[in-house]
Amino acid sequence: MRKIIAIVFLVISISSPLFAGGGWTKKKGEGYLKLNQWWVRSGKYYNREANIIDITTTGVYVSSLYAEYGISDKLTAITYFPAYVRSTLNRREDPEGNLIAAGDELNGFGDIDLAIKYGFFQDKKVVLAIGLQIGIPTGNPSGGETQLLQTGDGEFNQMLTIDASHSFYPIPAYVSLQTGFNNRTNNFSDEFRYGLELGYTHNNFTAIARLKGVKSLFNGDDSQVSGNGIFNNNVEFLSYAVELIYSYSEHAGVSIGVASAFQGRQILASTTFNAGIFINF
């Protein structure tokens, strides 16, 4: 049973920081590290009315470190550090090749997330965890020659989350649910977040299916709009994602994944990609 739970926790912990291990917590002194590359490039955008429109092609590329460490058997410390964020706008030309707008780029740190998570009923069939995540505005909210590009949103936020997870042992599968409330500052609207994750392991491979949603409370300043369609205010979406993980040892592995959206508002309308490598210690 412990082996199955460990596998399930490993699967969840290398997924999106939204879940951060689901309802499971790390054992005291145990740790997890993941180096990840995430990127999106798009010439389409969900506008404020949730319609897809054409925009100047823009790209966002994020190289990050995600880490978990067990302070105790029930208390886990978590950090997400986007060490390098590259944001770009393409050069625009008319059909004759004349310049309409020069390209632009911005490189730098992103916004750091720090979190703690406390687990309940860790030896039960359904495990629960309450988490508190703090977003620190270490990124650049306005840069490049146009001052339109960003590596962060420039606001300090606090998010409270509740996770519930269940292992289907002896079947090597799990399910996790999460809800969260994100309190945002600097005239950004607060958000309600929710998600569902399913995973199944066969030999050294694990497949994950994921749904993730964000709903804005629209209680902020709607003029907070960026040039890259990632750090806008009043962002809303319902996304789906799949991820494939290969564990080449008990302590290390790699992952690849893609995600897209059923619907959205004030966000890029294209598929995102990610690839990473992780270790457990």
Domain count, the chain: 1
Residue 6: pLDDT over 80 = no
Each residue of 86-113: pLDDT tens digit?
999 987 655 655 556 678 999 999 999 9
Residue 201: pLDDT over 80 = yes
Please give the pLDDT value at position 84: 97
Q: How far apart are CA 37 and CA 253, in angstroms?
A: 15
Nearest to 19 by CA among 185, 162, 172: 162
Q: How far apart are CA 254 and CA 204, in angstroms?
A: 11
C-alpha distances out from residue 167 to 11, 26, 141, 150, 278, Å: 12, 16, 41, 40, 22
Q: How far apart are CA 261 and CA 259, in angstroms?
A: 7
CATH code, domain carrying 138: 2.40.160.40
Q: How far apart are CA 102 and CA 22, in angstroms?
A: 44
Each residue of 19-60: pLDDT tens digit?
457 899 999 999 999 999 999 999 999 998 999 999 889 999
**What pTM did the predictor assign?**
0.87
- The domain in which residue 94 lies consists of 2-280
Q: Which two tokens stand for residue 258?
A: 């893609």
